[in-house]
Amino acid sequence: EAFSFQVITEDQAETDRYWNAIVGNGGAESACGWCKDRWGLSWQITPRALLEATTSQDQAAAKRAFEAMMGMKKIDIAAIEAAMKSEGRRVIAANL
């Protein structure tokens, strides 16, 4: 795993498009936004919203976003945003 690609996406539709193109063409899902294509190359499909959430000035919200991401395969932006706002309520990712 010495080489990988990272794609920063702007919204859920773009995230889904890249993810589905890679996984749906002989690839495999992995954790936390990672997947492998049919040739075994690793890709990290990262919504900009996730980067912003996990680097938030609000450290508690950033921690909740990170913890939500840890339970995901493909990143669900709505679940990340819900985790940011949850203030202690547990948010379950839809795509486990």
Where in the chain are the domains? 4-85
Q: What are phi and psi of 82, to 5 degrees?
A: -65, -40
Q: What is the pTM of this model?
A: 0.86
Task: Identify the band that residue 86 occupies on the pLDDT scale cut at 50, 70 and 90.
Answer: confident
**Digit-coded pLDDT (tens) for 21-54:** 999 999 999 999 999 999 999 999 999 999 999 9
Per residue in 54-67, pLDDT tens? 999 999 999 999 99
Sheet containing 42-47, strands listed edge to edge, beginning at the edge strand earlier in sequence:
4-9, 42-47, 34-36, 28-29
Write out the CATH class of domain 4-85: alpha beta
